[in-house]
Amino acid sequence: VYVLTRPAIGFYEILPVVAILPVVGLMDQTLFLAARGEHYWTTAMCFLYVSSSAWIPGAKVVQLGLWFWAGFSKLNRHFPYVVGVMNSNSPFTRFAFMRRLMYKNYPEDVNPSALARIAGHWGTAVELGIPIILMVSPVGSYGHYAGMALMLGLHIYITSNVPMGVPIEWNFMVVYGAFYLFWFNADVSLTTLPLPLAVFLAVMLIALPLIGNIYPRAISFLISMRYY
């Protein structure tokens, strides 16, 4: 309430938020996870640098990490099943013959069809490609435009399918963040990241996801960004 009623947001407005959430999470880890701490809390830590523009490259790194690890988590054998079921429940595949295209031989064999597998692999490639393209492409280049187009297409596709059990609002937030960070502030370089923030982000976006993928029982799938 205090933060929401301030005329401007600064370090001392953000500090209580980023300090209280992990403390509450120690008492009930579900609260920290439900708050999507690996995304929103990590980004809020970047907001501690709101008095300078240093928070922008930090938020960019968080966004790039989310895309990369979400794509990485799709490198498995079961993701085509996810795509097949999602597409067959989409409001845009209302006709039975369209839904059956997602399965080998419905109803006798409900393993994903070749089409569902291709769609799954394409989605994986796109989500892995978006952060790489946006990170290496010069501002205003064809690569930059392509990265933004792929980003928008991916999240529109996910949202339009109205997938069950998916935090749809997260997809809206990611699109909004992508346009603010990689379009309106595309010229802000990642090299301007302050060292303390860079170390923190390395832990949250590299170390913990790596450990969580190697030892999945040790760290929550959200902190590990093992979304699939």
Give me the pLDDT at residue 51, please: 82
Can you tell me the mean pLDDT for 21-43?
93
Q: HSE-up of 60 (CA within 13 Å, CB side)? A: 25
Average pLDDT, the chain: 92
Q: At what angle do helices 142-160 and 114-136 cross, to 10 degrees?
A: 140
Express each pLDDT in 131-164 by its tens digit: 999 999 998 899 999 999 999 999 999 998 888 7
Express each pLDDT in 41-100 by its tens digit: 999 999 999 888 899 999 999 999 999 999 999 999 999 999 999 988 888 888 898 899
CA quadruple 34, 38, 43, 44: dihedral sign:
positive
CA 77 to chain centre: 21
Give me the pLDDT at residue 228, please: 85
**Tokens 């909004």 sit on residue:** 176
DSSP string, 72-104: HTT-SSSHHHHHHHHHHT-TT--SHHHHHTTEE
Give me the pLDDT at residue 91, please: 86
Per the model's pLDDT, the better-predicted residue between 149 and 2 turns out to be 149
Specify the amino acid at residue 81: Y
pLDDT at residue 165 greater than cutoff 80: no
Give me the pLDDT at residue 220, please: 93
Span of 128-132, 187-191, 206-210 with lowest mean pLDDT: 187-191
How confident is residue 201, by pLDDT bands cut at 50, 70 and 90?
A: very high
Mapped onto helix, strand or coil, the DSSP state of residue 43 is helix
Q: Is the peptide bond before 107 cis (omega within 30 degrees of 0)?
A: yes
Mapped onto helix, strand or coil, the DSSP state of residue 186 is coil
**Tokens 């006709």 sit on residue:** 95
How confident is residue 224, by pLDDT bands cut at 50, 70 and 90?
A: very high
Q: What is the pTM of this model?
A: 0.90
Mapped onto helix, strand or coil, the DSSP state of residue 29 is helix
- CA distance linking residue 100 with residue 96, whole number of Å: 6
- CA distance linking residue 158 with residue 153, whole number of Å: 9
How confident is residue 169, by pLDDT bands cut at 50, 70 and 90?
A: confident
Span of 11-15, 89-93, 121-125 with lowest mean pLDDT: 89-93
User: In this structure, what token pair is assigned to residue 13?
Assistant: 């407005």
